[in-house]
Amino acid sequence: MSGPVIQVEGLSKRYRLGTLSHQSLRKDIQSGWARFRGKDDPNSCVVGQRGAGLDSEEVLWALKDVSFEVNQGDVVGIVGRNGAGKSTLLKILSRVTTPTEGLARLRGHVASLLEVGTGFHPELTGRENIFLNGAILGMRRGEIERKLDEIIAFAEVDRFVDTPVKRYSSGMYVRLAFAVAAHLDPEILIVDEVLAVGDIQFQRKCLGKMGSVAKAGRTVLFVSHNLGAVRSLCSRALLFERGRLTFDGAVEEGVALYEQTFSGGQGIAPDARFTGPLQNDIHVDRLTCVQSGKPVSVLDPLVPFRIELQGVAKRSFQVLDLNLGVFHDGIYLTTCFDAPPEVALAQGTFCSTFDFPANVFLPGRYTIAVGASASIGEWTWAPDVAALEFADKGIELGVDRRRGVIVIPYAAERRQ
Amino acid sequence: MNRIDESEDGVTVIRPSSGWFNLHLDQLWRYRDLVVLFVRRDFVSVYKQTILGPLWFLLQPLLTTVMFTLVFGRLAGIPTDGVPPFLFYMAGVLPWNFFAGSLNQTSSTFVANANLFGKVWFPRLTVPIAAVTNNLLTFTIQLVLFAACYVFFLVRGVPVAPTLALLAVPLLVLQLAALGLGCGIIVSSLTTRYRDLVHLVAFGIQLWMFATPVVYPSSRIPARWSWVVTVNPMAPVIEQFRHATLGTPAVGPGAMLVSASATLVLVLVGLVLFSRVEKSFVDTV
């Protein structure tokens, strides 16, 4: 087949912020009545400006004028920070949402995996869910029947295939879901950050499967924060920043460029929301990961690292500690405090550091929550403030036989 | 907005468009296996982890009929056109439940599947169609129960007999399905904008039932309220179903025609609204 498989021309997606619809019939009638009488809409955001819905303050361009082409057999990694437009692009290409401007041409059957287990029903068995999920993803019944054994074998769930999936562990759930999608045999496979869940062993297996899909001449678009995986799987990278495509080229160059955008220190994720009674008294402005003396976005699990928190206390506290919560796959792994209990904090700026030894976290993605607590009932907290990405050296080396998430110190001995 | 043209060489074009009516009927046919699987899922998951299992499909209308017989037949003493109250109420409850179940399940299409619709594309109409099919299946099973009760009354020598109109019952069933689907997708499309409707649906269905000759014969409706039956497309369907099965007075062809036309309009309005909402709702829910 000649010519590009994916052609994207001037694709833009606009979201309107603020209230477009009032979600309530009464208010819509109120607005309509006001317009009818030529008065100001009482429910409009900007009083006195009718038709202000397109004002630049109320509009967010999640994608702006993006154009690129992908040839058959290309494996393209899409990188960028949260909110850069990666997911919006994939949603448009998967037809879940529509572009505001521009167009995209896709040649061949598209399978998109934006989330694992979409449409799984907890009460149905693994086998029933394979059929349901396959059909949702566009497979005919016959196709699924032919692939059934392969899917079950890949997911390693053969003993549980007639058990309702609500009894599955989260790992089994993810394995089954990925297995269905990976066996779709589409011409174009679109995969969003879905492998962040599941253990590292299975992630490698999935990446291997995606690699073999690509070798069979199929096209893969792959969004991931796992830069190690992007490097080893993709030949080309697209870098997105604030809805624009800022780099399109060789994967090494693209990933290096992406890592540079972090080197000024990782800020707080723009969508992090601090809640709690102290949310106006303590401001955490900056979270930085430092390894070998340099701020980094992707950490080497075999080297010690430091997390620095910088912020401002708007008043002084008799007792206050700052803490980090480490999450993996929604599970709260641990909490770390910057000071022993009952230590005061003076008004003004502060910088707390947390030093971690090497070899604590296994490769994968962890999210950090930041909190501060004074006495009982006086606290502030925000989840998903930053993400830690531990590179998977094992993909290249293929030697790591440790499974799980963290490493704990232990002693073992064998006697014979 | 999203217009998808899939030509022979399998090229999909995604672009913003102002088209206001595209239901992807060809795609719907391609996804027919999905409809079957949705029906299976809903049918099976209802009785998983219940002791009586599928028996509930029969117990539910049976209990309702018994309740209606006691409350409206015995206590209120509403006459039932000379047929045994039990059969009279059952012949009203079954088609009504089919309609109300279809409407109720279909009306939550967008809100209940927001997450699914946000992650993967497939013809959205598969969901309401599966919901109505599921209710049709339940209805069919319940008709067997109805037949069994019927035979029981016949054996005891109660003078009831079906009429020739029985042959047209499949048409009535089709109309019930169309009405449930049409009203359901109208409500589901509106609920993406007006969440208030979610709370109104259950109440609305109940109110609608009392405006329909389910627990009373239409012969008992006072003349000044007869317009309620005229504007209610469900009324002739229920009455005609009773006429066909129990031999109660028939509905005039005029009333049937009005009701059928109303059904057609409701379905068309529903489809237009649905196709408009399915394009934009991912961004607004």
- Backbone phi, then psi, for B180, in 5-degree steps? -60, -45
B15 contacts A99 by C-beta, under 8 angstroms: yes
Query: Which pLDDT score, from 0 to 100, does residue A23 have?
Result: 52
Q: How many domains does chain A have?
A: 2
A225 and A349: one domain?
no
| CA distance to A80, A93, A115, B126, B277, per residue, from B120 (Å) | 22, 11, 9, 13, 16
At residue B81, φ and ψ (nearest 5 deg) are: 55, 30
* Radius of gyration in angstroms for the set of CA atoms belonging to chain B, rounded to a whole number: 21
CB contact under 8 A, A135 and B194: no
What pLDDT was estimated at residue B9? 56
Query: Would A273 be classed as within a structural domain?
Result: no
φ, ψ of residue A197 to 5 degrees: the values are -90, 165
Taking one residue from A and the other from B, the number of pairs with CB-CB distance under 8 angstroms is 114
Instruction: Work out the minimum CA distance from B60 to partner chain A, whole angstroms.
Output: 22
Please indicate if any CB of chain A lies within 8 Å of the CB of B194: yes
- Residues in B touching A140 (Cβ below 8 Å): 33
CB contacts of A28 in chain B (<8 Å) are: 193-194
Do residues A59 and A30 make contact, with C-beta atoms less than 8 angstroms apart?
A: no
Chain-centroid distance of CA A112 in Å reads 15
Is residue B2 within 8 angstroms of chain A, CB to CB? yes
> Cβ distance A380 to A371 under 8 Å?
yes
Contact A114 B31 (CB under 8 A): no
Whether A99 and A211 map to the same domain: the answer is: yes
Q: Judge whether A222 lies within some domain.
A: yes
Contact A45, A82 (CB under 8 A): no
Domain shared by A229 and A309, yes or no: no
Tell me whether A92 touches chain B (CB under 8 Å). Answer: yes
Comparing CB atoms, the residue among A15, A95, A132 nearest residue B37 is: A132
And the tokens for A126?
Answer: 């693994």
Name the residue among A24, A98, A107 with its Cβ closest to that of B10.
A107
Query: Given an 8 Å threshold on Cβ–Cβ distance, is A24 in contact with B195?
Result: yes
A155 located within any domain: no
> In CATH, what number is assigned to the domain containing residue A343?
2.70.50.60
Residues A287, A370 share a domain: yes
Q: Is residue A326 part of a domain?
A: yes
A contact test, residue of B4, B11, B37 with most A CBs within 10 A: B37
B7 touches chain A (CB under 8 A): no
Residue A79 belongs to a domain: yes
Could you tell me if residue A200 is inside a domain? yes
Do the domain assignments include residue A201?
yes
- Report the C-alpha gap between A204 and A195 in whole angstroms: 9
Residue A313 and residue A388 in one domain: yes
Whether residue A167 lies inside any domain: the answer is: no
Give the residue ranges of chain B where pLDDT is below 70.
1-9, 17-23, 285
Residue range of the domain that includes A372 = 282-397
Of B44, B121, B284, the CB nearest to A94: B121
Write down the pLDDT at residue A393: 64
* Residue A46 pLDDT: 41
Query: Is A104 in contact with B279 (Cβ distance < 8 A)?
Result: no
What's the pLDDT score for residue A263?
46
Chain B hits for A164, Cβ within 8 Å: 48
Of A24, A102, A131, the CB nearest to B194: A24
Partners of residue A98 in chain B, C-beta under 8 Å: 1-2, 14, 16, 279-280
Chain A partners within 8 Å of B283 (Cβ): 15, 97
Chain A residues with CB inside 8 Å of B9's CB? 107
Q: How far is A302 from chain B (nearest CA, A)?
A: 36
Looking at the structure, do residues A79 and A201 belong to the same domain, yes or no? yes
Q: Are A156 and A206 in contact (CB under 8 A)?
A: no
CA distance A90 to A86: 6
Could you tell me the CATH number of the domain that includes residue A246? 3.40.50.300
Q: What's the CA gap between B237 and B87, in Å, rounded?
A: 17
**What is the overall mean pLDDT for chain A?**
81
User: Among residues B156, B22, B145, B32, which one has the least CA distance to residue B94?
Assistant: B145
Q: Is A59 on the interface with B (CB under 8 A)?
A: no
- Length, in residues, of chain A: 416
Tell whether A248 and A287 lie within a shared domain: no
For the complex shown, is ipTM > 0.85? no
Asked if A124's CB is within 8 angstroms of B44's CB, the reply is yes
* Average pLDDT along chain A, 416 residues, taken 10 residues at a time: 81 74 60 63 45 53 91 89 84 88 87 79 89 88 90 89 87 84 83 68 78 84 81 88 89 82 56 81 86 82 89 90 87 89 88 90 85 86 83 57 79 91
Yes or no: say if B212 and B233 are a contact pair by the CB < 8 Å rule: no
Same structural domain for residues A323 and A385? yes
| Chain A CB within 8 Å of residue B49 CB | yes
Q: Where are the alpha helices (DSSP H) in B118-252?
A: 126-155, 169-191, 196-210, 226-231, 234-246
B119 in contact with chain A, both atoms CB, cutoff 8 A? yes
Structure tokens, B258? 């009005």
Structure tokens that stand for A410 in this block: 């232990």
Domain range summary for chain B, segments of one domain joined by +: 24-284
